[in-house]
Structure 1
Amino acid sequence: MTDKILVTTTEQIPGQNYEVIGEVFGLTTQSKNIAKNIGAGLKNLVGGEIKAYTELLSDARDIAIQRLRANAVALGADAVVMMRFDSDSISTDMETVAAYGTAVRFKD
């Protein structure tokens, strides 16, 4: 059901009139296991992309969007407009990601 919720970064959805329900959020905090943290530390010495952390952020982003959609469904929304991400490091091996936007209901 949540995968049917349209999520867009735009303010308007072409061809749709809607009413604003309210703000919605999807939050997650993720960390990598000790082995991947050691590998990332070694990669940090030589430079380049640290794929373990790229994967961590990608996974966290996906989870945050799933939770955003679930929050929108719970409010009876048809879509989320003006979706944005925010992220921050909690420690050297933990990242928090927030997806947030405005839940809307389509009008006929």
Structure 2
Amino acid sequence: MSNLDEYGGGQGPSPDVLVVTTNDVPGHRVDRVIGEVFGLTVRSRHIGTQIGASLKSMLGGELRGLTKTLVESRNQAMERLVEQTKARGGNAVLMMRFDVTEAADLGTEICAYGTAVVIAPAG
């Protein structure tokens, strides 16, 4: 696995469902708005990662274990967002955002959300 995959994410070149953070997709029109969709995951804290992060935070620097966990969590939330969109008949998500919150001091909740739509090439 490359550093690109470990410390980042996003869609490949030809996704089944296009996910964008913009209001529209250049060169496409929105034929139908399906509505809000989201993908959610809650990750508990791994005790080994927490201890390592606590030690690292005293010395300074990136908390690589936590970074990898957050990347995995965001990617899982995105996968679930795409599944929800496909299940509702959409082929795109507009205005996608992430929301990250603490879940009752037990872990971290990551939610990917946006507006599911059906788009088609303009013209």
TM-score, normalised via structure 2 length: 0.78
**Gapped runs of 5+ residues in structure 2?**
1-14
TM-score, normalised via structure 1 length: 0.88
Aligned residues: 105
Secondary structure in 2 aligned to 1:103? strand
Match of 2:98 in 1: 85
**Cα distance in structure 1, aligned partners of 2:57 and 2:72:** 21
Of the three residues 50, 54, 58, the one matched with 2:63 is 50
Maintained 8 Å contact 1:81/1:104: yes
Secondary structure in 1 aligned to 2:22? coil
* Identity over aligned pairs, percent: 44
Deviations 1:39-97 (A, max 9, x none): 11111221221111111111111001000000001100010001001101232x62111
**Cα distance in structure 1, aligned partners of 2:70 and 2:93:** 21
TM-fit CA distance, 1:107: 4.8
Matched, 1:5 2:17: yes
User: Following superposition, which runs of at least 4 residues in structure 1 exceed 6 angstroms of deviation?
Assistant: none
TM-fit CA distance, 1:31: 2.6
Q: Let me know the Cα RMSD of the aligned residues.
A: 1.5
**Gapped runs of 5+ residues in structure 1?**
none
